[in-house]
A and B are shown apart, each in its own frame.
Chain A
Amino acid sequence: MADSVRRVMIRAARTLVAGLALMSAIAGLVAILCVVSGYDPLRALDALWRGSLGSRYAVLSATLVRATPLILTGLSVTLAFTAGVMNIGAEGQLLAGATATTAVAMVAGRSPSWLALPLSLVAGGLAGAAWAYIPAWLRRRFGVLEVISTIMMNFVALNLVGYLVRGPLQEPLRIYPQSASFPESTRLPILVGGSRLHLGFGIALTAAAVMWWALRFTAAGFRVRVLGGSPDAARSAALIDAGKTAMRAFLLSGFLAGLAGAVEVTGVTYSLYENLSPGYGYTAIAVALIGSLNPVLTAFSGILFGALEAGASAMQRDAGVPSVLATVVEASVLLLLIGLGAVRAPFSRWRHSRAAKVESRERAPIPEPL
């Protein structure tokens, strides 16, 4: 017992050191980029700190609020990648979720909150799963690579939202390209008084904990890990139905991304509009990978990226440094970790053999997970 406690503590300490190293690397990168592009690095870092972790208000109302959709989409990617499913479509699934949540909230808004809110959230999750079902089906039935189809679906979703907020879902005055404001009963409660931190953050952390537990201790989680870790072994040992497991993981991954969209509209924006997501679904890939595809670490890396993006907004506001600098830092950190070999994705056997393909045409199971 004492042994396992010590092991957990050693791992926690290692994670802490890695986290601190990562934060220093981020600060260093920000400083270097500022110097290179001619901004005052000290002023920028000061703004970055004050806008992200420097005060209780910044942590609660900026960092954690920004982290919420990153954690949920990060978990979506973590689950898919762990199962060997290359879902690059969290962005589209998030938008589909936000859209369905909006539609349901407008109708259900008159019912009491205990009914309207869960209904709206579940609708968002289901819409995300439905949006993931299309590429999953295309993969299973026709062998279309989900790397490509999920990206295509992202653009379809973006245009769909663009149409809806100027059409059926536009606000009643028909001036702005956005939906009507959400009724009170469909807004997520605030967690900490005097801040903007909403219940969605709790949902995201709960999802992370549940996923960690499920992947580690349940039969379904075991199947997912085996499928992503060694599809051939899984298949030949006839341990699992690869097609069914991959499909379920894909749908659940879509559900989580859809939930991210649902939480964003019910907790932050209270309305649907085109630029709802500044690319959460794409940043999510970096969040998941830096979290080593571990749900708990993904939550931490989501918070780290939330802090970076919240701080970048403050940098733009207070130090005049373009907030797009955050994107450069995120990409550099990811490349740095890839280069160091610290990011090892289970789907590294990314491949698509011809034999698997022919088989998929004839018997139509999900072809070999990528």
Chain B
Amino acid sequence: MTDTIGPFLDATIRTATPLALAALGETVVERAGMINIGLEGTIIAGAFGAVVAAALLGAAGALVAAVAAGVLTAIVLGLFIVAMRTDQIVAGTALTLLALGVTGLLYRTTFGTTGVALTIPTAGAVAIPLLASIPVVGRALFAQPVTTYVVYLTVPLLAWWLSRTHAGLSLRAVGENPAAAIAAGISPDRVRWLALLFGGALGGLSGGTLVIAQVGTFAEGMSAGRGFIAIAIVALGRWSPVGVAIAALLFGAASALQFVFQSLGWTLPYQLFLALPYVLTLSALAGVTGRSGPPAALGRR
């Protein structure tokens, strides 16, 4: 059994990392009263940014490039939904289409229409001394790529920032009641821009993680719906960083179940495992909705 739990946990954390990154960024965006339906586009842009930079700058530079690419998509979105006050769902949908198209086009143009299997330097797992040697769970939790540790740090920091700092409270005020925020001397547009940029940075890093820490190459549409899942995870985690982290883990665990079944020798159609996380998310959403709501001004222009 021990030899199942280790790989299962490891796979759970590995799957959950990019989802948690994107979802934590989206949490901040949504707490500021916006929704980035184009998160999928942010992630694919991050992945492409990483793959372009990896060859030149190595793994660390690739992650920086991923963040930059994610921020770029956030700027595009911000121009529409903050500066021009357009509909958020429509602009976000267009952003996803745009990013999937542009990355696909650039990839084929740069690396050929056949889509050469491009291999790039990957960032391996970094084991944290002592913690990684805890029996059973140690390696799964503490011998992961560096981006996993970013998640570990972001969750408590963000939870503290949102509930205990002036800036965090301002952000929430903008998301709950923009009029009151203005009365309190806060500029909602400035807050929304910063929230979007933060969301873009983490979304980009999420894409970078896919390339640098997991797949090791780029493929068109490799974000494979993670942006949409991350948006669902934010709702599932009730717009709180800790909740979002738990929801991401739940999703990761559902995806990792197939490893357990494989090791137990059960043969079930693999599509069942691919569909399971979505079904689980739907049921979980039905279960948790209504306890605490989304920011009151979510999606309002």
Contacts and interface: CB of A to CB of B under 8 A. Distances in A.
Interface of A: 33, 37-38, 86, 88, 134, 138, 141-145, 147-149, 151-153, 155-156, 159-160, 162-163, 166-167, 282-283, 285-286, 289, 316, 320, 322, 324-332, 334-335, 338-339, 341, 343, 345, 347-354, 357-358, 360-361, 370
B101 A325 contact: yes
Interface stretch (B105-113, B178-186, B203-211): B105-113
Contact of B100 (A162, A325, A327, A345): A327
Given A149-B282, A155-B275, A156-B275, A328 B102 contact: yes
B84 A348 contact: no
Contacts of B269: 163, 166-167
B298 interface: yes
Main secondary structure of the interface of B (DSSP, over half): helix
Given A156-B278, A350-B89, A339 B80 contact: yes
Interface stretch (B46-54, B144-152, B284-292): B284-292
B232 A148 contact: yes
A160 B275 contact: yes
11 contacts: A33-B105, A141-B286, A142-B287, A155-B228, A286-B94, A322-B105, A324-B104, A330-B97, A338-B90, A339-B80, A347-B87
B101 A327 contact: yes
Contacts of B86: 338-339, 341
Interface of B: 35, 37, 80, 84, 86-91, 93-98, 100-102, 104-106, 108-109, 113, 220, 225, 228, 231-232, 235, 269, 271-272, 274-275, 278-279, 281-282, 285-287, 289-290, 293-294, 296-301
Contact of B104 (A147, A327, A329, A334): A327
Contacts of A33: 105
A166 B228 CA distance: 26
A358 B106 CA distance: 47
A326 B98 CA distance: 10
Contact of B299 (A37, A162, A282, A352): A352
Contact of A155 (B89, B100, B278, B293): B278
Given A167-B269, A335-B98, A350 B289 contact: no
Contact of B90 (A142, A289, A357): A289
B281 A152 contact: yes
B271 A163 contact: yes
A330 to B, nearest CB: 6
Contact of B300 (A155, A331, A351): A351
User: Most chain-A CB neighbours within 10 Å: which of B37, B220, B275?
Assistant: B275
Given A138-B285, A354-B296, A285 B93 contact: yes
B94 A338 contact: yes
A179 B289 CA distance: 39
Nearest to A327: B101
Contacts of A322: 104-105, 108-109, 113
B97 A353 contact: no
A328 to B, nearest CB: 4
B50 to A, nearest CB: 19
A15 to B, nearest CB: 21
Nearest to B97: A331
Contacts of B80: 335, 338-339
Given A138-B285, A327-B101, A86 B87 contact: no
Contact of B272 (A145, A151, A163): A163
